[in-house]
Amino acid sequence: MRITVLTGAGIPAESGIRTFRATDGLWEEHRIEDVATPEGFRRDPALVHRFYNQRRADAARARPNAAHRALARLAQRHELTLVTQNVDDLHERGGSAEVIHMHGSLLGALCAGCGHRWPAALVMRPPDPCPACGKALARPDIVWFGEIPYHMERIWKAVESAELFAAIGTSGLVYPAAGLAQHARRNGAHTIELNLAASAVSRDFAERRLGAATEVVPQWVDALCP
């Protein structure tokens, strides 16, 4: 079966990585405009680097959970395209061989000047030079607000060809990710939402299973991989 899965912050949250919209979330400590926009980076690159250095350290300490491992198992039995809004590498460490990071990755660095990409150091600083152009314009390779998510052509094609589309641990508040379920349904896929609570686009799903990702995802995968 051709399956496309979209994952969001609800999965790594169960590995101890804080989400942005929780009551104790990251946005309560920082304004979006300050740490998640190109303008914020130009205004105060040191603040932005401190913010993502901490996120990188938190992700490195976190461990894959049962939901990550279940999705790796799903790929062994079905034709799976795994798309994530998450910028950590827990899917990969949980056994998934191929993951499409539509919002970038904490493991990557990007030159804000020439666009060159390279592996990020655990700690990045404003003076860090770009290996290609030499300018001190290194930023995290993260898709910020106002920027276009990565790999969208590939993602749309995977959604269009899917027989089954699942969204796991997503809020349904961030586009274009929030529009993928509706697109899948228009193209004939069965759609299912696995979430702690109904998302903002819950109406776009034909089926819904509510509960912790570490519980509902392994149960769902078990049913698809008897």
What are the residue numbers of the active site?
103
Minimal CA–CA distance to 72: which of 48, 49, 52, 90? Answer: 90
Buried b (16+ CB within 10 A) or exposed e, 156-195: bebbeebebbbbbbbbbebeebbebbbbbbeeebbbbbbb
* Cα 160 to Cα 46: distance, rounded to the nearest angstrom: 41
* Cα 205 to Cα 33: distance, rounded to the nearest angstrom: 32
* Cα 127 to Cα 134: distance, rounded to the nearest angstrom: 10
Strands 138-142 and 79-84: unpaired
Phi, psi of 35 (to 5 degrees): -125, -5
* Cα 65 to Cα 89: distance, rounded to the nearest angstrom: 12
Residue 162 has what DSSP assignment? -
Give the Å distances, CA to CA, from 98 to 12, 79, 80, 87, 170: 17, 12, 9, 14, 20
